[in-house]
Amino acid sequence: MSAKLISTEPATGAHLWEGSVSDVPAEVARACSAWPRWAAQPIANRIETMRRFANAVRSAEEKLADLIARETGKPLWDARSEVAAVIAKVDISIAAYSERTGQKRLDAAMGARQAVRHKPHGVMAVLGPYNFPAHLPNGHIIPALLAGNAVIFKPSEKTPAVGEMLVSLYHQAGVPLDVVRLVLGGPQEGKALAAHPDVNGILFTGSAQTGIAINQQFAAQPQKILALEMGGNNPIIVWDTPEIASAASLVVQSAFMSAGQRCTAASRLIVRDSLADTVIAEVKKLADRLIIDHPHADPAPYMGPVIDNHAADGLTESFLILMSNGGKPIKHMVRPIKDRPFVSPAIIDVTAMTERPDIELFGPLLQVIRVPDFAAAIAEANNTRYGLSAALIGGTPEQYNQFWANVRAGIVNWNRPTNGASSAAPFGGVGISGNHRPSAYYAADYCAYPVVSAEIETPRATIGVGLKDIDTRQMGE
């Protein structure tokens, strides 16, 4: 008898969904049997199927947004934005496929031609996160399907209901049942999927710890494609600017949107010491006004809960550890509702700490670091093993050029938040934020591999050097 997987609403604790844990080998076998036929279809057919998927999502837009809001706890407006991104991903991925994996013809010697085309890898496993349970896995799945791969999607065990609905929408649009398969379960099923010999690649979004473990698992398997997006410990620098209110809004948006549960969320506010008190006061004043409530509350909240009590406990414990090691609280982290994973946005000055933990604090916890000059600000921004996103607020064009050139991150912004990256651009980082396989628009790169062919209709060849002379006497005999 299969084990059960249960999902509850973080905001209320209400039972939302339950289902059976999947049989991984059986799901892989079904995908393996289906992908050659899918890959053999004309690309026009796959494009049309993806466009039908976009229409299927439009028809279920409010239902999907409501499910995302309930299962993640994020405000309904935030969930609606996620669904809009799922729809937009189709046209973006079609354009990316054409641009980055399109066919090319080159002239060659003796009337031949060189052809560059792309082939799918085969069966791709997509391991999705809970913070964007539809948009982020969809960002792998659509490019993979366009390229001709079959996909086995394992959603986070914390958001299985959204994963199930997403897969049903692919099938509703006409993607063959065995071309997209759903694996439900926890870490054990994820490990089994990654280890399966018939899986040709893993497309992963999640924690650095899990991503590094997958990378180690694949170290002796170079034949398998591996794309890792593993979060960040992202800096936002506030420098000389008269627009303090706007700067504070950008900091709050970067640190606290989606309850800080974005891999691009700002974890560290680095600020010029002469400006620090003014900036911090404005950020705190705005953070104090943020409404924290359940997803469907009226007025609409800015933040919902974090994903579960385990995550909330970890955040409050992290805040206490920072305090006990020299951090000075500016805004305390509070649990306003007993037994529910709501946490208030927290701000703590860690300038005096001799050692700051270089970890991804996945929630609304902002650390403040005061610095004396711009070189120190950049050095502090780079004081991390991660390298996903970084932003400079204020400063001169020359300082932004210096920031852009020297900061280590895959997303570098000026007077914009650290989060909210466009799907029409590459998305990825350096260090332990990724393995140099950016997703979003560049996902096409890892969903197919290039094949070069020299082609001519009639074989024509001679060997003009290194041959012995022909002995005509022997030929005459």
Q: Which residues does the annotation mark as catalytic?
A: 229, 263
Size of the chain, expressed as the number of residues it contains: 477
Residue partners of 311: CB distance under 8 A and separation at least 6:
341, 362, 363
3-state secondary structure 437-454: CCEECCHHHHHEEEEEEE
Contact 136, 205 (CB under 8 A): yes
Taking the C-alpha atoms of residue 336 and residue 322, their distance in angstroms, rounded to an integer, is: 21
DSSP-derived 3-state class of residue 8: strand
Token pair of 414 as six digits: 């000026």
Check if the beta carbon of residue 134 is closer than 8 Å to that of residue 83: yes
C-alpha–C-alpha distance, residues 142 and 151, integer Å:
10
CA–chain centroid gap for 389, Å, is 12
Helix (H, G, I), strand (E, B) or coil at 234: strand
At residue 435, the 3 state secondary structure works out as coil
Helix, strand, coil percentages in the chain from 3-state DSSP, rounded to 5: 40, 20, 35
Tokens representing residue 82 in the block: 């996620």
- Spatial neighbors of 384 by CB under 8 A, at least 6 apart, are 232, 233, 235, 358, 431
Dihedral of alpha carbons 90, 96, 101, 106, sign: positive
* Non-local CB neighbours of 262 within 8 Å, separated by 6+ positions: 131, 419
Distances (CA, A) of 249 to 149, 243, 259, 279, 366: 42, 10, 15, 10, 14
